Amino acid sequence: MKSILDYETVDYDRDLNIVKIIDQTKLPSDIQIEELTTSQQVWDAIYLLKVRGAPAIGVAAAFGLAMLACQIETTDLDEFERELISKKDFINSSRPTAVNLSWALGRIMDRYREVKNRLIKEENIDISIIKNTLLDEAYKIKEEDILVCRSIGEYGLSLLKPGDGILTHCNAGQLATCKYGTATAPIYLGHEKGYGFHVFADETRPLLQGARLTAFELSSAGVDVTLICDNMAASVMAKGKVNAVLVGCDRVAANGDTANKIGTLMTAVLAKHYNIPFYVCAPTSTIDMTAETGADIVIEQRDVKEVSHMWYKEPMTAENVKIYNPAFDVTDGSLITGFITEKGIFKSPKEM
Ligand code: MRU
C-alpha cells in the first residue's frame, strides 16, 4: 500500500503547467493532492500551511513563480518583466519568517536576469526560452533540496548511535521538504541501517505539526515514534530518555540565533538544563547573513483562532480572552550545540 512517503510534497506537471502539493491541512486523515494554477492559490497554499516547512515553501514558491511566468501572454520583454516582478512580490508576501521563500524566488529572478541578458546579447528575445529556463531552475531547486537533505542526514547520523532517544519539535520531515526532511533525515538514514532510534515528537501547539505530520510520517516509515504534548518534553528528558534534540529552522542569523517553530526555544532551554546536545538541521539556504542577530528576524503572528477555536468543537477560551499567537520563536545561538548542514557540522554560521 502507498504510504505518505510515496507522495511528492511539491511537484509540477509540465504538460498541464500546474503546481501540485499535498494539502497538509488535511493530514493525517486524508491524503489529498491540490492543484495550484493561480497566484492567489499559490499565496493561499503557503499562508494556510497547505504547503509548509521552510524548504517546501521555497520549492512551491519557485514552481509557482515559474508557472505564473509561463502564463504571461506578451512578446514585450519590459511588460513580461513588470508582471514577473509583481507576481514575485505577491508570493513573497505570503509568509515572512522562512527565508527559503525569498531565497527561492530570488534564484528564479537571478536566472531570469541571466537569460534575459544572454538573449539581448544574442539579439534573440524569445520569451518561451525564458519561460522554460525559469521552470528548469525550479526543478533544479527541488532536486538540490533532496541532495541537501540526504547530506544533512549523513552528517547528522555521524553524531548519533544505535538505540538513541531523539526528540524533535514541529515537522522538519519529508513533508517539510522534497525528501528525507532535515531533522528527520538522520533518523530515516539510521532507520534504514537498523539503528533502532526511539523518537519523541512534540505535538507542537497550536497547529499540531508534530502530531499530525511528524508522528504520521515517521510511523508510516516504521520508525519507533512516541507522540508527547509539548509540556511533556521536560519529563522525558528528566527520565534520561533523550540523547539528542534535532530540530529544523526557518531563518538562521549570522550570529547563530535561529528562528524555528514556536516552542523550539523552550526545548533548547530544557536541553541545556539536562545537558542534552541540541542540533539545528539547517540547509545553507536557510542561513540569512543579512540578519545579524535574531532581533533582525520578523516573526509571523497568526490568527488567534488557531489557539482558541481550531481543533475544538466549541471555542476553548472565554470570549474576549487575550491571545498571543507567534508562529516562531528565536533560539539564542548559545543554546545550539551545532548546525548540521549539507556542507558539514558547524558551531556557527560564521564558520561555514
Ligand atoms: O509553520 P510551519 O509548519 O511552516 O513551520 C515549520 C518549521 O518551523 C520547521 O521546523 C522549519 O520550517 C524547518 S522544515 C525543514
| Percent of the chain surpassing pLDDT 70 | 100
From 145, 202, 250, 257, active-site residue: 250
**Short-list 232, 153, 151, 218, CA closest to 190:** 153
Determine phi and psi for 288, rounding to 5 degrees.
-120, 95
Distance 18 CA to ligand 1 centre (A): 24
Helices assigned H by DSSP within the chain = 39-47, 54-71, 77-92, 99-121, 127-157, 185-192, 209, 215-220, 233-238, 264-273, 305-308
From the CB of 331, is ligand 1 less than 6 Å away? Answer: no
pLDDT of residue 208: 98
Q: Looking at ligand 1, which atom is closest to the CA of residue 183?
A: 15
Tell me the best of 152, 171, 207 to mutate to test the pocket of ligand 1, counting ligand atoms within 8 Å of each CB and taking the most: 171
What is the three-state SS of 312-345? CCCCCCCCCCCCCCECEEEECHHHCCEEEECCEE
> Is 250 marked active-site?
yes
From the CB of 251, is ligand 1 less than 6 Å away? Answer: no
Cβ-based neighbours of 39, under 8 Å, separated by 6 or more: 64, 68, 87, 90, 91
pLDDT of residue 299: 98
pLDDT tens column, 290-337 = 999 999 999 999 999 999 999 999 999 999 999 999 999 999 999 999
Q: Looking at ligand 1, which atom is closest to the CA of residue 209?
A: 3
The CATH classification number of 4-150 equals: 1.20.120.420
Can you give the residue ranges of every domain in the chain? Answer: 4-150, 161-351
Q: Quick one: pLDDT band at residue 1, thresholds 50, 70, 90?
A: confident
From the CB of 249, is ligand 1 less than 6 Å away? Answer: yes
Query: Does the pLDDT value for residue 117 go beyond 90?
Result: yes
From the CB of 49, is ligand 1 less than 6 Å away? Answer: yes
Distance 172 CA to ligand 1 centre (A): 6
From the CB of 252, is ligand 1 less than 6 Å away? Answer: no
pLDDT tens column, 239-265 = 999 999 999 999 999 999 999 999 999
Query: Using alpha carbons only, what angle is made at residue 328 by residues 322 and 330, rounded to the nearest 5 degrees?
Result: 115
From the CB of 182, is ligand 1 less than 6 Å away? Answer: yes
Distance 176 CA to ligand 1 centre (A): 7
Determine phi and psi for 30, rounding to 5 degrees.
-140, 125
pLDDT tens column, 55-87 = 999 999 999 999 999 999 999 999 999 999 999
Q: Quick one: pLDDT band at residue 29, thresholds 50, 70, 90?
A: very high
Report, at the CATH architecture level, how domain 161-351 is classified. Answer: 3-Layer(aba) Sandwich (3.40)
Distance 211 CA to ligand 1 centre (A): 14
Q: Which residues pair with 253 in a beta bridge?
A: 288
Query: Does the pLDDT value for residue 95 go beyond 90?
Result: yes
**Short-list 173, 77, 177, CA closest to 120:** 77
Chain centroid to CA 172: 6
Q: Name the packing angle between helices 77-92 and 99-121 (round to 10°).
A: 170
Distance 52 CA to ligand 1 centre (A): 6
Distance 42 CA to ligand 1 centre (A): 18
pLDDT tens column, 187-223 = 999 999 999 999 999 999 999 999 999 999 999 999 9
- Indicate the SS3 state at residue 307: helix
pLDDT tens column, 128-177 = 999 999 999 999 999 999 999 999 999 999 999 999 999 999 999 999 99
**Short-list 164, 212, 209, CA closest to 191:** 164
* Arithmetic mean of pLDDT, 328-352: 97
Please tell me the distance from the alpha carbon of residue 280 to that of residue 183, in angstroms, as a whole number. 8
Please tell me the distance from the alpha carbon of residue 69 to that of residue 65, in angstroms, as a whole number. 6
- Which residue lies with its CA nearest to atom 10 of ligand 1? 248
